[in-house]
Amino acid sequence: MGAVLGLLLGVGVLLVWSAFQAPAPRPAPRPSRLRPLLARAGLGEISETGFVVVCGGCAVVATAAVLVASRTVPVALVFGAMGGYLPVAIVNGRADRRQREFAEVWPEAVDNLASAVRAGMSLPEALGALSERGPEPLREAFAGFALDYQVSGRFADALDRLKDRLADPVGDRVVESLRVAREVGGGDLGRLLRGLSGFLRDDARTRSELQSRQAWTVNGARLAVAAPWLVLLMMCFQPEVIHRYSSGAGVAVLVGGAVLCAIAYRAMVRIGRLPTERRILS
């Protein structure tokens, strides 16, 4: 009995002591790079795990297909790595196209807002009306805003969810401008929207001209990077030639070529990249 009482006393003292100890700080989770990419592409409902599984499946399928055709493991692994990266490249392209499309239609959306406010509609009503009368690419996002505002009645929270739904730097600027205008009030909202529309239109026109001028250079560089691998893929149907890449020298050529192509491609992208806007308060 004494042993039991001593054990209970010790447990009690331990619990009292632990109550006065500060909990160990948890390491902050590392920010994921996939989640912002999926959001920018309009695929925010897809989980990161599911996307990784798709990439892995593409890598396995590409590896198996090239291995059946070439009977050469190093070549199959190289094309398997390319197959695994293919979904990332597709989502990147989709995100860039979506951002360019948004940049083109935002001036029209802001003009519609200015007209609605000038006609006497409140700011939440004007934003909700964009789900029916706004540009087609933005209607779904503003339909979600209208539903959020009807359910909660909290304008700031509905704007936050709208920003998450759009995942667009220009959209962030528009939303934060509307937030400030709503909080400050006054009769300058129409003037602010007209000025914002003109600025966005000029910015979109300048960026479009620069992109059209550099498009042929970027496409030519991409073709130059892809050409050696297309030739190698065609060589997979010549067993007496492709089997040479199973040797040590062949593996060295494959690895060296892949590294040089990756470096050249990244350099081309960095040189030809236009200044990109960062999302604000996201």
Which is higher by pLDDT, 205 or 5?
Answer: 205
In terms of pLDDT, which residue wins out, 18 or 247?
247
Distance between CA atoms of 171 and 280, rounded to whole angstroms?
10
1-10, 101-110, 175-184, 198-207: segment of lowest average pLDDT: 1-10
pLDDT tens-digit series, residues 228-264: 899 998 888 888 888 888 888 888 999 898 898 888 8
Mean pLDDT of 97-124: 87
Number of domains in the chain: 1
pLDDT of res. 88: 93
Range of the domain at 213: 48-272
Residue 113 lies in a domain: yes
Three-class secondary structure of residue 33 per DSSP? coil
Q: Is residue 221 part of a domain?
A: yes
pLDDT at 95 over 50: yes
50 and 71 in contact (C-beta within 8 Å)?
no
pLDDT at residue 14 above 80?
no
Burial class of residue 35, CB neighbours in 10 A (0-12, 13-18, 19+):
middle
What DSSP character marks residue 266? H
Long-range contacts for 180-188 (Cβ within 8 Å, ≥24 apart)?
Answer: 181/123, 182/123, 182/155
What pLDDT, on the 0 to 100 scale, is given for residue 28? 46
User: What does the pLDDT read at residue 57?
Assistant: 95
As a whole number, mean pLDDT of residues 197-214 equals 82
DSSP string, 204-231: HHHHHHHHHHHHHHHHHHHHHHHHHHHH
Q: Is residue 36 part of a domain?
A: no
- Tell me, yes or no, whether 34 lies in a domain: no
Residue 129 lies in a domain: yes
Give the model confidence (pLDDT) of 177-188 as tens digits: 888 877 776 566
